C-alpha cells in the first residue's frame, strides 16, 4: 500500500510538471525560441543613390523655371522619401531649403515684373518705378540664395564625388540663368521708366493778375506746371 501511495504521488508530480512546462511554452513572456544576437557588422545599410536625388532636383528646378512654383515645392518634398546617409542629411536639408527660398523669391520677382509692365502700359510711371525698386532688392536676395546653393554643392563634392557634384550643379544652373533673365528685364523696364519720366504728360496753368492794362503798361503772369496726377514740377523752364 505504501508503494501505491508513493507511485500515485510520483504520477501526480509528473502531471503537474507537464502542465507547467506546457503553460510556459505557450506563454508570450517565455518564448519557445529566443532571438539570436546579430552582429552589427553583418547588418546591411540601405543603398544611397545620389544620381536619383540629383535628377529629382533637376525636375524641381525645371518646374520653377516654367513658373510651376507650387508643383515644384511638392516635388521637392520627395527628396526625403529616399534614403540619405546621416552624415549627408544636413547638407541635403540645406539644399532643399535654399532651392525653396530662392524659388519663392524668384516667384515674387516675376509677379512684380509683370505688375511693373502693366503699370507702364497704363501710364503709371511712378508706381512702376517703385515696384521695380522693391523687386530689385528681392532679386538680389534670391541671387545670394543661389550662391549659397552652389556653395553647398561644393561641400558635397568630397562626399558624393566630383562627377555627381558637377551633375548637380548643371541641374540647378537654370536658376542662375532665370535670375539673370529677370535682371535684364528689370533693367530694361527701368530704362522705360526713365524715358517715360522725360516725356510724361504735363499741364501748364497760367493766371494774369491784371485784367486791364494801358498801352505801354506792365502786368504779371503766374504759372503752375503740373505732371499728370497733380504733382507740381518746380523750377522748370517752359518754352
Taking phi over 0 as left and psi of -120 to 50 as alpha, with beta for the rest, 227 belongs to: beta
Q: For residue 28, tell me if it sits in a domain.
A: no
3-state secondary structure of 89: helix
In angstroms, the CA 39 to CA 89 distance is 26
Same domain membership, residue 230 and residue 169: no
Q: For residue 18, tell me if it sits in a domain.
A: no
Same domain membership, residue 206 and residue 102: no
Model-wide pTM > 0.85: no
Q: For residue 221, tell me if it sits in a domain.
A: yes
Per-residue confidence (pLDDT) for residue 194, from 0 to 100: 87
Per-residue confidence (pLDDT) for residue 25, from 0 to 100: 52
Same domain membership, residue 235 and residue 130: no
Same domain membership, residue 171 and residue 130: yes
In angstroms, the CA 115 to CA 82 distance is 40
The angle subtended at Cα 230 by Cα 229 and Cα 233, nearest 5°, is 115
Q: For residue 81, tell me if it sits in a domain.
A: yes
3-state secondary structure of 148: helix
The length of the chain is: 239
Cell numbers of 72, please? 515644384
Per-residue confidence (pLDDT) for residue 47, from 0 to 100: 74
Same domain membership, residue 187 and residue 71: yes
Per-residue confidence (pLDDT) for residue 15, from 0 to 100: 56
Q: Are 108 and 186 in contact (CB under 8 A)?
A: no
Same domain membership, residue 190 and residue 78: yes
> CA 214, 216, 218, 219: dihedral to nearest 10 degrees?
50
* Buried-exposed string 32-70: b where 16+ CB fall within 10 A, e elsewhere: eeeeeeeeeeeeeeeeeebeebbebbbebbebbbeeebe
Q: For residue 187, tell me if it sits in a domain.
A: yes
Q: What are the angstrom distances between the C-alpha of 28 and each of 31, 32, 211?
A: 6, 9, 116
Same domain membership, residue 151 and residue 56: yes
What's the domain count of the chain? 2
Same domain membership, residue 173 and residue 213: no
Same domain membership, residue 217 and residue 150: no
Domain span at residue 65 reads 50-198
Q: For residue 16, tell me if it sits in a domain.
A: no
pLDDT values of the chain reduced to their tens digit, one per residue, 239 residues: 545 555 555 556 555 555 555 554 544 444 444 445 555 544 455 677 788 889 999 999 999 999 999 999 999 999 888 888 888 888 899 999 999 999 999 999 999 999 999 999 888 999 999 999 999 999 999 999 999 999 999 988 888 889 999 999 999 999 999 999 999 999 999 999 988 765 455 665 666 665 666 666 665 666 676 666 666 666 555 55
Same domain membership, residue 222 and residue 124: no
Determine how many CB atoms are found less than 10 A away from the CB of residue 196.
16
Same domain membership, residue 81 and residue 190: yes
Q: For residue 22, tell me if it sits in a domain.
A: no
Q: For residue 32, tell me if it sits in a domain.
A: no
Per-residue confidence (pLDDT) for residue 36, from 0 to 100: 52
Q: Give phi and psi for 32, each to the nearest 5.
A: -65, -35
Determine how many CB atoms are found less than 10 A away from the CB of residue 143.
19
Domain boundary among 168, 183, 198: 198
Same domain membership, residue 189 and residue 232: no
Per-residue confidence (pLDDT) for residue 218, from 0 to 100: 67
Amino acid at each position: 500500500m505504501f508503494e501505491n501511495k508513493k507511485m500515485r504521488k510520483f504520477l501526480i508530480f509528473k502531471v503537474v510538471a507537464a502542465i507547467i512546462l506546457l503553460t510556459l511554452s505557450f506563454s508570450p513572456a517565455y518564448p519557445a525560441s529566443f532571438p539570436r544576437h546579430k552582429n552589427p557588422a553583418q547588418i546591411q545599410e540601405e543603398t544611397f543613390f545620389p544620381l536619383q536625388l540629383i535628377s529629382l532636383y533637376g525636375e524641381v528646378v525645371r518646374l520653377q523655371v516654367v513658373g510651376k512654383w507650387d508643383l515644384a515645392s511638392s516635388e521637392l518634398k520627395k527628396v526625403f522619401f529616399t534614403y540619405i546617409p546621416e552624415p549627408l542629411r544636413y547638407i541635403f536639408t540645406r539644399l532643399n531649403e535654399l532651392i525653396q527660398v530662392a524659388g519663392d523669391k524668384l516667384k515674387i520677382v516675376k509677379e512684380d515684373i509683370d505688375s511693373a509692365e502693366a503699370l507702364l502700359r497704363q501710364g503709371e510711371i511712378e508706381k512702376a518705378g517703385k515696384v521695380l525698386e522693391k523687386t530689385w532688392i528681392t532679386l538680389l536676395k534670391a541671387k545670394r540664395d543661389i550662391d549659397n546653393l552652389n556653395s553647398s554643392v561644393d561641400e558635397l563634392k568630397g562626399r558624393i564625388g566630383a562627377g555627381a557634384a558637377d551633375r548637380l550643379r548643371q541641374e540647378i544652373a537654370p536658376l542662375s540663368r532665370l535670375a539673370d533673365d529677370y535682371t535684364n528685364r528689370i533693367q530694361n523696364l527701368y530704362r522705360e521708366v526713365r524715358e517715360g519720366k522725360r516725356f510724361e504728360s504735363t499741364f501748364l496753368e497760367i493766371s494774369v493778375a491784371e485784367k486791364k492794362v494801358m498801352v505801354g503798361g506792365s502786368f504779371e503772369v503766374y504759372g503752375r506746371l503740373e505732371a499728370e496726377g497733380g504733382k507740381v514740377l518746380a523750377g522748370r523752364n517752359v518754352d
